[in-house]
Amino acid sequence: MSNRLICGICVSEKEMPTCCDRSMIVKNVYLLCCCSDECGYNPIPECCDQKMDYLFA
């Protein structure tokens, strides 16, 4: 099972970004690395001028 991001407009998909060799998790409107305080939050990637949605695959 792989977690992916999908664009709600063009339906383009991409792999969930990784940090510290692990997939990041979606937390509110950000991506979060749970391994280290230094990593913290990153913005969710955008496509078609909007944030991509989380897709359980």
| Domain definitions of the chain by residue range | 3-56
Enter the pTM of the model: 0.77
Q: pLDDT, tens digit, for every residue of 1-57?
A: 468 999 999 999 999 988 888 888 888 889 998 887 788 889 999 999 999 998 876
Show the 3-state SS of the chain: CCEEEECCCCCCEEECCEECCEECEEECCEEECCCCCCCCEEECCEECCEECEEEEC
Q: Residue 20: which region, alpha, beta or left (left: phi > 0; alpha: psi -120 to 50)? A: left
